[in-house]
Amino acid sequence: MNTLYLRRRITNALAMTLSMLATLVGLAFLAWILWETLRQGISALDLKLFTKITAYGEDGGLANAMVGSLVINFIGIAIATPIGVLAGTWLAEYANRTKLGESIRFLNDILLSAPSIVMGLFVYTIIVLPSTALTHGSTTFSGFAGGVALALIALPVIVRTTDEMLRLVPSTLREAALSLGVPQWKLTLQILIRAARSGIITGVLLALARISGETAPLLFTAFGNNYMAINPIEKMSSLPQIIYQYANDPGDAMHALAWAGAFVITMFVLLLSLGSRLILSRTKVSHD
Amino acid sequence: MPVATPTDILEQRSRRDVRHERLFRWLLKGCALIVLAALLGAAGATLWGGRDAFATFGWHFLVSSSWDPGNDVYGALVPVYGTIVTSFIALLIAVPISFGIALYLSEVAPTWLRTPVASAIELLAGIPSIIYGMWGLFVFAPFFANHIKPWLTNNLGNKPDDGKLSWVAEHVPFVGKLFGSDYPFGASILVAGIVLAIMVIPFISSVMREVFQTVPTRLKESAYALGSSTWEVSWDIVLPYTRSAVIGGIFLGLGRALGETMAVTFVLGNAMQLSASLLDPGTSIASTIANQFSEASGLQKSSLMALAFLLFVVTFIVLLIARLMLRRLASKEGR
């Protein structure tokens, strides 16, 4: 009896220690990755990053890649936000508990983790190939195609958060509006979406954080460009694509530039997720 | 000219409302169907792009290990092998660690510590995959080559530096082959698996933590009242109660690992070869596409599309299982 008791206590102590160790391992890798990105990124920070373009190679900066990233991300979010919010609204307000609604909600969750490189090839097939054929090769890869690829990745994030946030809105609000004779579309647009506004904005910010580091779908859509491009029908460079290109380059100076780009992206993503958290916590307080 | 009575105005207005309502409904439904179109389109586009490869090689495409742009002969076996092995290694490492993290955060840690640690781990999920790739390429792979790999090859592998086989390599089958390598660099299937593991840990552990928290307190308290230890409650009460969702979380991680491109491309070495050793470089479906697609044409491009189709179908099935498993727990709760 006593040995059994002892054995159980030892097993328990062992399991607890291991679980703590597992957490420490997870945190250690987080710290290691962030530390290296900060260390190497900050030491490579320089004003020329923001003023010079990548055409200068080692002596250049990342200005065109940053502008390209901004343009492509903007296109992605601009396409995904209205579609995502409306689709999420349909799931929460019109198709909740219908068969089609449930299946789309389910498939949206799958799209959420679908391989991004396949999305890139999809957009390559539906935009890059036709535009090449229609313009006889003068427009091939484009920033717009990159934006569409990113929109496909941002879309499920926005759909899901909108859907979840709308379902959190108390039904008394709906009943009150409907009893005053407000048509449902007006109720949805002017009351429900407003009530869930901060949650929806959080979703959009999360989607932006998700797409701003995406590389794989941009390789065959926006392709890359060593010169400044603002017009989205041109080939366009982006930070992740430049990081990919420079990290595979043998030169140390290129690696430093890649780290600087990695630092900029990481900071951007971390600030975005921090910001979206702040928005959510602020609304929680106001509701309580 | 009849004067519009209040009832006329009301009627007009309600007719207008009905019209707007119908329009609005269609708009919303159309947007929702885009989600469906994206999935179907991705599958259709890659299948259509890969039709030449499927038509030329047929079923042979799946089992052929040759990838020879010179003779225009392509087979999917090497990238498929790399994808499966790296994902399997990732799960082998990530599942126990994620379980530990979830256990610690839901049962063991003091309450004030739980939220900050959980947020920190979730931060790991937000880091873009290319950052993992860079860290793997410039930091982890050299570290692995200098400190871990020599130990593995000398103590477990069949090609040790001093030529003397260790006891394990001699007596345990397969181990010698798995860890034997004379390739000098860090980038390898094992390193790719480890980097993938670090990437999927936050996904799996946050799902596990969430579902562990759904276990009814009275169930756990009953077990504690009967004298169970924390470990016994976790292993015998919490885990069986949440089993389907835990498996769902693991499959979710698997889906991520299978389709990951950037983190893997940097640390896999990108060699089109089939090697039993985990310390040799290899390739995966996603990294083959990323490396070759821009320069490919003709049958090679079609073969890459066919690879993408395979990847999409496999991840779709894995994620489908994941979501179904996750839903089973939710339906148990009556949600």
Task: Give the DSSP letter string of A64-78.
Answer: HHHHHHHHHHHHHHH
Residues in chain B: 335
Cα distances from A119 to residues A12, A20, A149, A264, B244, in angstroms, run: 46, 39, 6, 25, 29
Query: If we measure between CA atoms, which residue out of A60, A67, A64, A152 comes closest to residue A108?
Result: A152
Residues of B in contact with A146 (CB under 8 A): none
Q: Is A157 on the interface with B (CB under 8 A)?
A: no
Across the interface, whether the CB atoms of B230 and A16 are under 8 A apart is answered: yes
Contact B74, B66 (CB under 8 A): yes
Across the interface, whether the CB atoms of A36 and B48 are under 8 A apart is answered: no
Q: What are phi and psi of B73, to 5 degrees?
A: -120, 130
In the prediction, which pLDDT does B5 show?
Answer: 79
Non-local CB neighbours of A21 within 8 Å, separated by 6+ positions = B100
Q: What is the mean pLDDT of residues A29-51?
A: 91
Mind telling me how many Å the CA of A139 is from chain B's nearest CA?
A: 16
Q: What is the mean pLDDT of residues B211-233?
A: 92
Residues of B in contact with A150 (CB under 8 A): none
Across the interface, whether the CB atoms of A269 and B38 are under 8 A apart is answered: no
Across the interface, whether the CB atoms of A15 and B230 are under 8 A apart is answered: yes
Judge whether residue A181 has pLDDT over 50.
yes
Tell me what the pLDDT averaged over chain A comes to.
90
Judge whether residue B88 has pLDDT over 70.
yes
Q: Is A40 on the interface with B (CB under 8 A)?
A: yes
In the prediction, which pLDDT does B234 show?
Answer: 93
Judge whether residue B335 has pLDDT over 60.
no
For residue range B120-169, what is the model confidence (pLDDT) as tens digits?
888 888 899 999 999 999 999 999 999 998 888 888 887 777 777 777 77
Non-local CB neighbours of B299 within 8 Å, separated by 6+ positions = B52, B53, B56, B72, B74
In the prediction, which pLDDT does A205 show?
Answer: 93
At residue B280's C-alpha, the angle toward residues B72 and B85, to 5°, is 80
Report the alpha-carbon distance of residue B235 to residue A153 in Å, rounded: 37
Report the alpha-carbon distance of residue B146 to residue A191 in Å, rounded: 61
**Percent of chain A surpassing pLDDT 90:** 68
In the prediction, which pLDDT does A288 show?
Answer: 35
Angle between helix axes B77-103 and A2-44 (nearest 10 degrees) is: 120
Judge whether residue A59 has pLDDT over 50.
yes
DSSP state of B73: E
Judge whether residue A99 has pLDDT over 50.
yes
SS3 B64: coil
Task: Give the DSSP letter string of B103-141.
Answer: HIIIIIS-HHHHHHHHHHHHHHHHS-HHHHHHHIIIIIH
Neighbours of A274 (CB within 10 A): 14
Q: What is the mean pLDDT of residues B208-227?
A: 92
Mind telling me how many Å the CA of A161 is from chain B's nearest CA?
A: 14
Q: Residue B333 — very low, low, confident or very high, per pLDDT cuts 50/70/90?
A: low
Q: Is A9 on the interface with B (CB under 8 A)?
A: yes
Q: What is the mean pLDDT of residues B170-187?
A: 80
DSSP state of B282: B
Q: Is A220 on the interface with B (CB under 8 A)?
A: yes
Structural element, H or E, at residue B74: strand B73-74
Contact B311, A122 (CB under 8 A): no
Mind telling me how many Å the CA of B144 is from chain A's nearest CA?
A: 14
For residue range B253-273, what is the model confidence (pLDDT) as tens digits?
999 999 999 989 999 988 888
In the prediction, which pLDDT does A77 show?
Answer: 97
Angle between helix axes B111-126 and A252-287 (nearest 10 degrees) is: 130
Q: What is the mean pLDDT of residues B281-305?
A: 92
For residue range B45-71, what is the model confidence (pLDDT) as tens digits?
999 999 999 999 988 899 888 898 888
For residue range A182-240, what is the model confidence (pLDDT) as tens digits?
888 989 999 999 999 988 999 999 999 999 999 999 998 998 888 888 888 889 999 99
Mind telling me how many Å the CA of A108 is from chain B's nearest CA?
A: 6
Report the alpha-carbon distance of residue B215 to residue B217 in Å, rounded: 6
Judge whether residue A121 has pLDDT over 60.
yes
In the prediction, which pLDDT does A286 show?
Answer: 42
Contact B197, B90 (CB under 8 A): yes
For residue range B232-245, what is the model confidence (pLDDT) as tens digits?
999 999 999 999 99
Closest residue, chain A, to B133 (C-alpha): A244
Contact A68, A222 (CB under 8 A): yes
Tell me what the pLDDT averaged over chain B comes to.
89
Q: What is the mean pLDDT of residues B179-196?
A: 88
In the prediction, which pLDDT does A1 show?
Answer: 60
**ipTM > 0.95 (yes/no):** no
DSSP state of A126: I
Across the interface, whether the CB atoms of A15 and B260 are under 8 A apart is answered: no
Please indicate whether residue B331 or residue A48 has the higher confidence score (pLDDT): A48
Q: What is the mean pLDDT of residues B1-20?
A: 82
In total, the C-beta contacts within 8 angstroms joining chain A to chain B are 254
Judge whether residue B193 has pLDDT over 90.
yes
Report the alpha-carbon distance of residue B107 to residue B111 in Å, rounded: 9
Neighbours of A108 (CB within 10 A): 25
Across the interface, whether the CB atoms of A121 and B121 are under 8 A apart is answered: no
Q: Residue A139 — very low, low, confident or very high, per pLDDT cuts 50/70/90?
A: confident
Report the alpha-carbon distance of residue B280 to residue B276 in Å, rounded: 8
Neighbours of A17 (CB within 10 A): 12
Query: If we measure between CA atoms, which residue out of B127, B119, B73 comes closest to residue A215?
Result: B127
Strand partners, B282: B269
Residues of B in contact with A188 (CB under 8 A): 24
Q: Is A36 on the interface with B (CB under 8 A)?
A: yes
Q: Rg of the Cα trace of chain A?
A: 24
Query: If we measure between CA atoms, which residue out of A77, A68, A76, A70 comes closest to residue A224?
Result: A68
In the prediction, which pLDDT does B1 show?
Answer: 56
Report the alpha-carbon distance of residue B166 to residue A206 in Å, rounded: 51
Across the interface, whether the CB atoms of B29 and A95 are under 8 A apart is answered: yes
Judge whether residue A264 has pLDDT over 90.
yes
Mind telling me how many Å the CA of A51 is from chain B's nearest CA?
A: 23
Residue with tokens 């390598």: B181
Across the interface, whether the CB atoms of A87 and B28 are under 8 A apart is answered: yes
Closest residue, chain B, to A239 (C-alpha): B130
In the prediction, which pLDDT does B201 show?
Answer: 94
Q: What is the mean pLDDT of residues A165-192?
A: 91
* A52-56, A64-68, A77-81, B24-28: the lowest-pLDDT one: A52-56
Bin B183: left if φ > 0, else alpha if -120 < ψ < 50, else beta. Answer: beta
In the prediction, which pLDDT does A282 show?
Answer: 65
Across the interface, whether the CB atoms of A215 and B127 are under 8 A apart is answered: no
Task: Give the DSSP letter string of B4-50.
Answer: PPHHHHHHHHHHHHHHHHHHHHHHHHHHHHHHHHHHHHHHHHHHHHT
Half-sphere exposure of B35 (CA within 13 A, CB side): 34
Across the interface, whether the CB atoms of A22 and B99 are under 8 A apart is answered: yes
Q: What are phi and psi of B58, to 5 degrees?
A: 60, -145
Which amino acid type is present at position A116?
S
Q: What is the mean pLDDT of residues A18-47?
A: 93
Across the interface, whether the CB atoms of A121 and B139 are under 8 A apart is answered: no
Report the alpha-carbon distance of residue A233 to residue B250 in Å, rounded: 41
Q: Residue A285 — very low, low, confident or very high, per pLDDT cuts 50/70/90?
A: very low
Non-local CB neighbours of A143 within 8 Å, separated by 6+ positions = A68, A71, A72, A75, A222, A229, A231, A232, A233, A234, A235, A236
